[in-house]
C-alpha cells in the first residue's frame, strides 16, 4: 500500500486539510484526516483530481493527423501529463478515410496495451459545416457514409466522441451513433437552435468549443450558441486561453451552464510541451506568436493551451473558485465521458489520478494510478 500526505486536497466536492491517501493497485483505498505522517510521500501544495481533456490534437511537437501512430499517442500523452492531464481524448481533425482508419488502429493499440493517460479518441469531423470549418480542410468535409460509420462503431477504441454539424448529419444517423455508445458533440456548425435541439433529443450530449466555429446567439436567431446555453443537460467544451473566447462570454457560459456542465478543453496543437513555432498541416502553415496559433490571414488554428493554464486562467482571469475550476477541469469532463465512478473525484474506489498544484496553480507533480508520471 502506498501512502501520500496532502496538506490541502480538493476531493471533487470540498477542500480538506491534512489528508492521508492510501493507494492499492492503482486505486484509492482510503482518504482520511490524519496528523503529519513522516513515512508518507508529502505534498505541500493543493492536490486536485487529475485533469480530463476531451479535445487534444497534438503535443510534444507532434500532431495526431500528421502522424497517426501509437508513438504519437505516447508523445502526446506524456506532453500533457506535464500539465496535469491524466486522461485525454486524442483528437483527429477532419481528414481522409485512410487517416481516420490509421488513427483508429493507433488508438486500438494504445487501448490494448493500456497506455497511461489515453482513454479514447475524438473525431472532430469530417461531417462539419463548410462555412464554419475553421482550419478543417475543405476538401475532406463530407457526408457520413458506411465507411466512417464503421470506424466510429469500432469497439476497440476505448471511448469514442464524434463532433458533427447537425445540419450535415441526419437525426437517424445521430441516433445510430448514440446507440453504438458514441458520444456525439455538436460543433463547427452553422445550424439553427432548432437543429441543435433536434440533435440533442436524438442523443447528442455536448457542444465542441462553445462560441468558436458555431452560429452565434442573435436577436432573432438563437443559433448553436443560444441552444447550448439554454439546454441544461448537455456539456460544453470551452477554450479558456484568453484568445478564443472573451472573458465575459466565458463567465456567461459558466453562469448559464453551471461548472457541472462546462469542460475546460485545450484544443492543443503539437506546440504544447515543445519549443515548436511553425507547424505544417493540410497545406497550411500554422505559426505561433506567444500563446496564439494562426494561419495566414490571422484565423485561429487551435491553441497552445495546456490544462494547468486553463485551470489558472479560470481562477485568475474568470474569477472562478478553485472548486469550480477543478470541476470544469476534471469532474465535468469525467462525467461527460461516463467515467464518474472512476475519475473526477478523489475518494475510496476511484483511480489514483491527481495533480499537485503550487500556490500559483502550476503543476508540481502528476500521478496516474498512483504513479508519478510528470518529470
The catalytic residues are 267
**Distance between CA atoms of residues 321 and 329, nearest Å:** 12
How large is the angle between the packed helices 247-257 and 223-230, nearest 10 degrees?
40
**Distance between CA atoms of residues 317 and 308, nearest Å:** 13
- List the alpha helices (DSSP H) in 211-331: 223-230, 247-257, 307-316, 322-326
Write the CA distances from 88 to 55, 79, 292, 327, integer angstroms: 7, 11, 22, 16
Rg (alpha carbons) of the chain, rounded to whole number: 20
Q: Name the phi and psi angles at 101, rounded to 5.
A: -70, -40
Residue 231's SS3 state is: coil
Q: Pairing relation of β-strands 159-164 and 15-24?
A: unpaired
**DSSP 8-class letter at 148:** H
**Order of strands across the sheet that contains 300-303:** 278-281, 284-289, 292-294, 300-303
Amino acid at each position: 500500500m502506498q501512502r501520500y500526505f496532502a496538506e490541502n486536497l480538493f476531493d471533487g466536492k470540498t477542500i480538506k486539510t491534512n489528508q492521508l491517501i492510501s493507494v492499492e493497485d492503482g486505486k484509492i483505498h482510503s482518504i482520511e484526516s490524519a496528523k503529519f505522517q513522516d513515512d508518507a510521500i508529502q505534498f505541500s501544495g493543493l492536490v486536485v483530481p487529475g485533469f480530463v481533456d476531451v479535445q487534444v490534437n497534438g503535443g510534444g511537437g507532434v500532431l495526431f493527423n500528421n502522424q497517426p501512430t501509437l508513438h504519437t499517442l505516447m508523445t502526446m500523452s506524456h506532453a500533457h501529463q506535464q500539465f496535469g492531464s491524466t486522461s485525454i481524448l486524442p483528437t483527429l481533425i477532419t481528414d481522409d478515410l485512410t487517416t481516420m482508419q490509421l488513427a483508429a488502429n493507433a488508438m486500438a493499440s494504445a487501448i490494448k496495451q493500456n497506455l497511461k493517460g489515453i482513454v479514447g479518441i475524438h473525431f472532430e469531423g469530417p461531417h462539419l459545416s463548410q462555412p464554419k470549418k475553421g482550419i478543417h480542410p475543405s476538401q475532406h468535409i463530407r457526408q457520413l457514409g458506411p465507411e466512417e460509420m464503421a470506424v466510429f462503431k469500432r469497439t476497440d477504441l476505448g471511448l469514442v466522441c464524434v463532433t458533427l454539424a447537425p445540419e450535415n448529419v441526419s437525426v437517424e444517423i445521430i441516433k445510430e451513433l448514440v446507440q453504438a455508445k458514441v458520444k456525439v458533440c455538436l460543433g463547427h456548425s452553422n445550424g439553427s437552435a432548432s437543429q441543435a435541439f433536434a440533435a440533442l433529443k436524438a442523443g447528442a450530449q455536448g457542444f465542441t468549443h462553445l462560441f468558436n466555429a458555431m452560429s452565434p446567439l442573435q436577436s432573432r436567431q438563437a443559433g448553436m450558441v443560444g441552444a447550448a446555453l439554454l439546454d441544461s443537460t448537455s456539456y460544453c467544451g470551452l477554450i479558456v486561453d484568453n484568445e478564443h473566447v472573451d472573458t465575459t462570454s466565458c463567465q456567461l457560459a459558466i453562469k448559464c451552464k453551471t461548472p457541472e456542465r462546462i469542460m475546460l478543453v485545450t484544443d492543443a496543437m503539437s506546440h504544447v510541451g515543445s519549443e515548436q513555432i511553425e507547424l505544417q498541416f493540410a497545406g497550411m502553415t500554422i505559426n505561433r506568436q506567444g500563446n496564439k496559433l494562426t494561419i495566414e490571414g490571422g484565423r485561429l488554428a487551435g491553441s497552445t493551451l495546456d490544462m494547468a493554464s486553463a485551470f489558472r486562467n479560470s481562477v485568475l482571469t474568470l474569477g472562478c473558485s478553485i472548486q469550480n475550476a477543478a470541476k470544469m477541469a476534471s469532474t465535468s469532463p469525467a462525467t461527460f465521458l461516463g467515467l464518474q465512478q472512476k475519475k473526477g473525484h478523489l475518494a475510496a474506489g476511484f483511480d489514483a489520478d491527481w495533480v499537485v498544484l503550487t500556490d500559483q496553480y502550476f503543476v508540481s507533480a502528476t500521478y496516474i494510478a498512483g504513479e508519478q508520471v510528470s518529470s
